[in-house]
Amino acid sequence: MTDDTRNINADLHCHSRYSDGRLEPAELVRRARDNGVDLLAITDHDELGGLDEAIAAAAELDLPFVPGVEVSVTWGGETIHIVGLLVDHRHPELVAGLEQTRAGRDLRAREMGRSLAAAGIPDTYDGALRHVGNPALVSRTHFARHLVERGVCRQVSDVFRRYLVEGKPGYVAHSWARLADAVGWIRAAGGVAVLAHPGRYPLGAVARRALFEEFRSAGGGALEVLSASHDAGQSRELGRAAIDLGLMASRGSDFHAPGESRIDLGDLPNLPAELTPVWQDWPEARAAAERRALSLPASGGKP
């Protein structure tokens, strides 16, 4: 079937300068199109500000697009990320919830700066701010880029390992939104909640299962099975968990920046056939499948 939505190249997780990505929303849209992405969502951390620009850019390039967001949550003492897809990005409940979630970021960043200064690296708060695209959204990534620029570490991932994770000198614990609240805001805005990169959380089997079940009870709709954070074994295991729990499956590169992100936009395997794509019934996915069928040669193209 030429209009089957299953094997479209859907990339439903990435970041612009409105959070900790490096590209403007319109640049992300163009890069996605150039990489062969059929359906794109931009999911900035706790922020919807880039979506109007993205929607306009996607319309101009005729690229099917869904508005998204990635909400920071604290669950069982861990930071968990919940992606919201196909949200009404003007919905007051979602807008207010995210505003509240962002509110503590600046104080946390100042504290990170003090903590790094105490460890012998001064002036990192101001340095991180120079990398920020959106002053309301200063993140650990901006500190990491600043420390790379200063030559403290060679790459962003080294800064995280040495300074920005629990137990390291620049780490400052923070309390984000509650899981049920984040899922509730996304659903209130008409969206579907996706548990982002579940393979990344340092949870044992029992806690992981409890997280999945609580997420589902709260109204969560899908697990992000395919992500740059997962190896093939983790993706298989998460696929099984999704089936087991009756959840749909999502696919997202979590792209942040050229040369920094391991996986580029659209550069992931297809979802295994036994999983239900979270985009299955979206009109945007149908449009993507139709557009893709038109652009492929009659004999078929890449799978």
Footprint of Mn ion on this chain (CB under 5 A)? 20, 70, 81, 196, 254
Q: Binder to ligand AMP among 157, 175, 217, 295 (CB under 6 A)? A: 157
Answer with the entry of ligand AMP, Mn ion, none that 156 interacts with (C-beta below 5 to 8 A by kind).
ligand AMP
Q: Binder to ligand AMP among 16, 72, 229, 250 (CB under 6 A)? A: 72
Query: Residue 68's closest CA among 191, 240, 196, 224?
Result: 191
Cβ closest to ligand AMP, residue 20 vs residue 181: 20
DSSP string covering 229-290: T--HHHHHHHHHHHHHHT-EEEEE--B--TTTSSS-TT-SPPPPTTS-BTTTT-HHHHHHHH
Residue 217 engages ligand AMP in binding (rule: CB under 6 A): no
In the sheet that holds 10-11, the strands lie side by side as 10-11, 39-42, 65-75, 78-85, 192-195, 222-227, 248-252
Q: Binder to ligand AMP among 18, 65, 75, 160 (CB under 6 A)? A: 160
Q: How far is the CB of 211 from Mn ion (least distance, A)?
A: 14
Cβ closest to Mn ion, residue 189 vs residue 196: 196
CA atoms within 13 A on the CB side of 196: 27
Cβ closest to ligand AMP, residue 154 vs residue 302: 154
Query: What single DSSP character describes residue 83?
Result: E
Non-local CB neighbours of 200 within 8 Å, separated by 6+ positions: 227, 229, 230
Answer with the entry of ligand AMP, Mn ion, none that 38 interacts with (C-beta below 5 to 8 A by kind).
none
Coil/strand/helix, residue 40: strand
State which residue has the least CB distance to Mn ion. 81
Cβ closest to ligand AMP, residue 61 vs residue 263: 263
Cβ closest to Mn ion, residue 256 vs residue 292: 256
Answer with the entry of Mn ion, ligand AMP, none that 140 interacts with (C-beta below 5 to 8 A by kind).
ligand AMP
Answer with the entry of ligand AMP, Mn ion, none that 72 interacts with (C-beta below 5 to 8 A by kind).
ligand AMP
Residues recorded for the chain? 303
Site for ligand AMP in 120-149 (CB under 6 A): 139-141
Answer with the entry of ligand AMP, Mn ion, none that 160 interacts with (C-beta below 5 to 8 A by kind).
ligand AMP
State which residue has the least CB distance to ligand AMP. 139
What does the alpha-carbon distance between residue 120 and residue 233 come to, in Å, rounded to a whole number?
A: 40
Residue 256 engages ligand AMP in binding (rule: CB under 6 A): yes
Q: How far is the CB of 59 from ligand AMP (least distance, A)?
A: 27
Distances (CA, A) of 71 to 31, 38, 158, 183, 285: 24, 24, 25, 9, 23
84, 69 contact by CB (below 8 A): yes
Q: Binder to ligand AMP among 156, 223, 225, 287 (CB under 6 A)? A: 156
Coil/strand/helix, residue 300: coil
Contact footprint for ligand AMP (CB under 6 A): 20, 45, 72, 139-141, 156-157, 160, 256
